[in-house]
Structure 1
Amino acid sequence: MSNQFTAGAVVYARNTAKVSAFYAEIAGLHITHAEQDHVVLESAAFQLVVVAVPARIAATIQVASPPQPREDTAIKLVLPIASIASARVMAPSLGGQLNPPEREWQFQGSSVCDGHDPEGNVVQFREVAP
């Protein structure tokens, strides 16, 4: 794990292993540190820390199967990825989902698509145009 601070975010999860695996595979983040209560994922410019929700709170959280997007939050992660099409195919095997191609849009030279992780946290993926 680097001591150099990078931009980052924290995601709270009931299942840190499953949520961490989703972000590692879909966004190409590398797991640089893992303990029972948190996992650190990094790229050269970003750090995502997946933190275990305390047991007393986790017991009150229901995650549907398949997970339903939780859109009633003020913040949405935005992550660069190599291919939205590839991520769309890969996401279900990791417990998440990307919206269908007809819901993609263009923004600042990127193709953009929302999706959600295995616990329903909405995330935006951006594929930079060549």
Structure 2
Amino acid sequence: MTAPAPHGMVIYACNKAQMTAFYQRTLSLQLRASHDSHDLLAGPGLSLVIHAIPAAIAQQISLTTPPALREDTAIKPMFVVADLAIVRREAEATGGGLQPDSRVWQMNGHTVLDGWDPEGNIVQFQQVSPS
């Protein structure tokens, strides 16, 4: 059994399979375990659990396509990625998206762009800027 990565988070999802695909593909994570209630994704230094919201609760949550963005939450996860163009492609292929390139900004040697997952959670992606 592999030890968990030193950092991680749990994301609750109405559609576990779609959310797992989004995070697996945009962050290049490996599926380490899959159960009815949750999937475990892992990569260097990160464990991510996609946990299914119980059906009785999920039925009360209204999701739209495209998703309504949840911009008023107190937490926004941030991930460093190799290539924002690849993240955009994979996000769009799995029901999420990224802001247009005109919204890119720079911070601490990184090119930064916000996006969203298939259920509307805001996610920040950072690519190391070329020197």
**Interval containing the TM-score (normalised by the shorter chain):** over 0.9
Count of residues in Structure 1 that have an aligned counterpart in Structure 2: 130
Partner of 2:79 in structure 1?
79
In structure 1, distance between residues paired with 2:125 and 2:24: 13
Aligned-residue sequence identity (percent) comes to 42
In structure 1, distance between residues paired with 2:4 and 2:83: 28
Partner of 1:110 in structure 2?
110
In structure 1, distance between residues paired with 2:79 and 2:2: 20
The two structures have a TM-score, normalised by structure 2, of 0.93
Q: Once the 2 structures are TM-superposed, how far is the Cα of residue 12 of structure 1 from its aligned partner? A: 0.3
In structure 2, distance between residues paired with 1:4 and 1:27: 17
The runs of at least 4 consecutive aligned structure 1 residues that moved more than 6 Å come to: none
Structure 2 residues not aligned, in runs of 5+: none
Comparing 89-98 and 44-53, the one that deviates more: 89-98
The residue type paired with residue 71 of structure 2 is: E
The residue type paired with residue 124 of structure 1 is: Q
With over 3 angstroms needed to count, the CA separation of the structure-2 counterparts of 1:5 and 1:83, relative to structure 1, is closer
Q: Once the 2 structures are TM-superposed, how far is the Cα of residue 4 of structure 1 from its aligned partner? A: 4.0
Q: Does 1:29 align with 2:29?
A: yes
| Superposed CA RMSD | 1.2
Q: Once the 2 structures are TM-superposed, how far is the Cα of residue 80 of structure 1 from its aligned partner? A: 1.4
Structure 1 residues not aligned, in runs of 5+: none
